[in-house]
Structure 1
């Protein structure tokens, strides 16, 4: 990363046996406590590889294989990292453009980044289950119905951070955290220069930036998502943002969308969207496990 920290982000590049030279590179960005090996990342990669696209699965700062090589930690608004990653991808891979795909926290990052200004080479994007209003998402996460999931995700957040070389006073604060709001208030916000979780949430919610998105972008969110309220999606003025294509089904859960076929419904929608934007995709029987990584 070009910020003087010495942090290094790791990614996995998957290439189909016969890549289509005129198709863009797909760059996938994981969600909270995720990494390149998250099931949704591998599922989308498999779908796109079968269609001749090369796929770069990125570990955010301090996530997965990037963790031993980082002093700092990703968060929902750290778009400068993603912009730096895209700028450093070798030109032969991006000659036909970049398709940026984010999930959950990575989807908020994707939308915020595009709203701040389209990175060079990005020709299309997709966001799946993005917490576009971070404050409302935090409140929903802490609701009674989400007790067991919330307890599990907070434990994973704490484990992720405590495994990094952060100052001891932050480690002490993280150990005492009881919920996701306290995590943001006692660690994420002060660690990154904000006064509180409320300020961090307000500054980094993608809904504030979505009106500035100019590149064709597919936005998928299930209205029954148990962790991300639909209010911000339903109240957004989609008509004034022609670059955005919203798909807001009644059901689907959080990065779920299990369809009748072999591929998740959101991946099927992604393929159709890309064919409308970049042209026909191929169809080959190349599963992710058979792809060459490099």
Structure 2
């Protein structure tokens, strides 16, 4: 599968949202609503398998008229997000209108999952998504699963696809503005121009990390409170809490760039060169031409999970066209 086969138009920013920063903060400024087609919402609880007793909360959206032969689409959010994040609802609404069933997952400790989780998500918790899939009814997964991840969730779904190779329940992947090199992204957040983003995201992340349900030692709670950057957080909280000797060891074990060469299912990787949060140099460091299962879709503009185009949100169009191309391929096979 190639980008030409998708029939995806080039991204053209919608004025006045010009430049990476305005593209990134547009939703926060405008607080847009999502028009939802007729569909049912069912709350699911999906246990994880690591012995903690943690349970993920998810929302299964089912259209009034489900399409035939369509896979389930699983959506994984970014840092400080949830199943209710705008980008999750925007993609779900488009796909519901096309007859897809959509599973919006609250990652471990996010949103309503917080109260039922002792531990917390990080960018490499791909096993949690495998456990969530295992907890679904066979009827939902019989036609395969396409995993779509946003930002942190994009790293998670790419890692999941690399770990499963050709044999697994995930039959396609889309990542949108994923931090495929966690160390480089964490360091980039410390740049002067990113202080607003770091402050905003870190405040929200710290609040959910210690919310009711979290099981943390007193020293870890103190480390969460003291962290002034994601560099501090990874060094003093994420690495020790998840049994890594150092933040460098955590980044090496969980960055998607170390897994993409093992991906064997059709995969669309979306990134913007002007993303102020994810350094595009991390994408340039990968030889995408040597990865036949992966289609890179790199745009000059778009910011971080922005891509507000003249015809709507470009990444929503991209997800739709990718799924349509998968359906055509499966039909011909």
Q: TM-score, normalised by structure 1?
A: 0.92
Q: Which runs of 4+ in 1 moved over 6 A?
A: none
Q: 1:239 maps to what in 2?
A: 289
Pair 1:217-2:267 in alignment: yes
What CA distance in whole angstroms lies between the structure 2 residues aligned with 1:143 and 1:21? 48
Select the residue among 273, 282, 286 that pairs with 2:322.
Answer: 273
1:16/1:49 contact within 8 Å kept: yes
Question: What displacement does 1:279 show?
Answer: 3.0
The structure where strand makes up a greater share of residues is 2
Q: 1:165 maps to what in 2?
A: 215
Q: Counterparts in 2 of 1:134-149, with a 5 A limit?
A: 134-149=182-197
What CA distance in whole angstroms lies between the structure 1 residues aligned with 2:49 and 2:156? 19
Question: What displacement does 1:23 show?
Answer: 0.5
Q: 1:5 maps to what in 2?
A: 52
Unaligned runs of 5+ in 1: 281-294
What CA distance in whole angstroms lies between the structure 2 residues aligned with 1:179 and 1:2? 31
What CA distance in whole angstroms lies between the structure 1 residues aligned with 2:215 and 2:135? 26
- Write the deviation string for residues 212-238 of structure 1: whole angstroms up to 9, x where unpaired: 100000000001000001112112111
Secondary structure of residue in 2 paired with 1:159: helix
Question: What displacement does 1:97 show?
Answer: 1.2
Q: 1:131 maps to what in 2?
A: 179
Q: Counterparts in 2 of 1:77-92, with a 5 A limit?
A: 77-92=124-139
Select the residue among 86, 92, 100 that pairs with 1:45.
Answer: 92
What CA distance in whole angstroms lies between the structure 2 residues aligned with 1:122 and 1:108? 15
- Write the deviation string for residues 221-280 of structure 1: whole angstroms up to 9, x where unpaired: 001000001112112111211100000000000000012124x10110111111111239
- Write the deviation string for residues 99-132 of structure 1: whole angstroms up to 9, x where unpaired: 1100000000011111111463222110000000
Q: 1:292 maps to what in 2?
A: none
2:152/2:178 contact within 8 Å kept: yes
What CA distance in whole angstroms lies between the structure 1 residues aligned with 2:308 and 2:119? 35
The size of the alignment, in residue pairs, is 279
Unaligned runs of 5+ in 2: 1-47
What CA distance in whole angstroms lies between the structure 2 residues aligned with 1:158 and 1:195? 22
Q: 2:70 maps to what in 1?
A: 23
What CA distance in whole angstroms lies between the structure 2 residues aligned with 1:247 and 1:126? 10
Select the residue among 307, 311, 333 that pairs with 1:257.
Answer: 307
* Superposition CA RMSD, Å: 1.2
